Amino acid sequence: LGPFVVVHVLTLAVLQGYDFSKTRTESDVAFSAFWGILTGTVAAFLFSTMAILYYAPGAEVLPRSVFALAAVLNCILLPGWRVWYTWQRRKRGELTTRVLIAGKPARVKAVGDELGQYSRSGHEIVGCVADTSCAAAPEDGFLGSVEDLSVLTQKHGVEEVIVIGESIMHDAAKLARVVELGRCAKVHVMPGFYEAMVGNLDLYEVGGLPLIELKTRPASPWYATVKRGMDLLCAVLGLVVGLPVLLWAAVAIKRDSPGPVFYRQVRCGKDGKEFEILKLRTMHVDAEKESGPVWASKEDPRVTPLGKFLRSKRIDEIPQLWNVLKGDMSLVGPRPERPHFVNEFSAGIPLFPMRMLVKPGVTSLSHVWGRYDSTPADRLLYDLVYIGNLSLMLDIRIIIDTVKTVITGRGAQ
């Protein structure tokens, strides 16, 4: 009986039989329960039969009729109970999701009416916002424009925003507001022709509408935990293996130019939290005393002759492994920028703050694939590609490419 129960629990879990989230309708939970029980019964029968044949020959086997009867009863009773339970929760208002729709007024009204007719989706249409500042009157169901999204979301307790129309997704300033909104509400986008042709999209259906979830915080707890473990292991090994190189670099820096061996500077980390980064000094002391913060260039006169070599081989980055141990940084992630440049670039590049959704890294996609003279916008593109495709395999690939870059001396610095 024990294995029978365990197998059923596992199959129900795999087939989302215990998922009672707001987005699931009565038919969804019934379908999951039905297939979970059916699959579990077949698996339990095969498991018990094989166990008896190989480990307990001659033992009594339950008749097939018992398995068949259990399957029939469970396939009727469990889905029925799940449907009743979901229906009761819906009656109490526990499964209602407050939704705001954004896009062109005509299209927004049509989609709002369509969702309103699909009552079992559990979506309560709070209102609509237009993709321009010329929104319709409040009595027409429009609460404002895209510029007011964050305020309206908090004011009306919105849990989900549906974005319709390419005009928003292809406008950097408007898209930035949508991305920012993703921190406090779930955002779904109705795909245009381009997105529909790309393929491999994580589709989400509401009332027959195909939507794509805009994942502004895509890292799962599993990924974050494994990545943190990999960061700690590699940081410790890197510091131990790199200790002789650091000692040599310390002596060389002292001989090359007057000043300290290490260089500390304030950078912006995850969610804009400031921290002090640690690097080997590659510039002359007080290099920005008169000029103020200056964006690095390929032939930067502030860099010492030795500093050029240390940068080309990434040796100056080794002390940042200490920042990785402290938890301020990760091995792989967007390179951390100084607060001055974060403010400057955010004003001119609306999506720039999105790179701070994850921890900054010692190395990054722009580091290994980009060029030294890449513009901030170019580097942002690499960072957004990385953030949108977070995976351990991508992290490992970037680390391997970083090793190649160190050997060849190519890439951004």
- Per-residue pLDDT of 368-388, as tens digits, reads 877 666 788 888 888 887 887
Question: What is the residue-level pLDDT of the chain in tens, covering all 413 positions?
Answer: 566 677 778 888 777 777 777 667 777 788 888 888 888 888 877 777 777 677 666 666 667 777 788 778 888 888 898 888 888 887 777 777 888 888 777 777 777 776 766 555 567 788 888 776 544 444 466 787 777 777 888 888 888 888 876 556 555 556 666 666 666 677 777 766 555 545 555 656 665 566 766 665 555 678 888 999 999 999 999 999 999 999 999 999 999 888 899 999 999 999 899 999 999 998 888 777 656 666 666 667 788 889 888 888 889 999 999 999 999 999 999 999 999 999 888 888 877 888 888 999 999 988 887 766 678 888 888 888 788 778 888 899 899 888 887 776 655 55
From the candidate CATH numbers 1.10.260.40, 3.40.50.720, 3.50.30.10, 3.90.1150.10, the one assigned to the domain spanning 97-214 = 3.40.50.720
C-alpha distance across the termini of the chain, in Å: 62
As a whole number of angstroms, the distance between CA 123 and CA 287 comes to 58
Residue 233's pLDDT is what?
94
As a whole number of angstroms, the distance between CA 38 and CA 32 comes to 10
Residue 203's pLDDT is what?
59
- Computed on alpha carbons and rounded to an integer, the radius of gyration of the chain in Å comes to 28
Neighbours of 126 (CB within 10 A): 21
- Per-residue pLDDT of 200-225, as tens digits, reads 556 566 655 667 666 655 556 788 88
Where do you find CATH 3.40.50.720 in the chain?
A: 97-214
The continuous run of DSSP H or E covering 107 comes out as: helix 105-117
Please spell the DSSP secondary structure of 198-244, one letter per residue. Answer: H----EEEETTEEEEEE-SS---HHHHHHHHHHHHHHHHHHHHHHHH
- Per-residue pLDDT of 99-146, as tens digits, reads 888 877 777 777 777 676 655 556 778 888 877 654 444 446 678 777
* DSSP letter assigned to residue 44: H
As a whole number of angstroms, the distance between CA 298 and CA 306 comes to 15
Q: What is the pTM of this model?
A: 0.58
Distance of CA 75 to the CA centre of its chain: 37
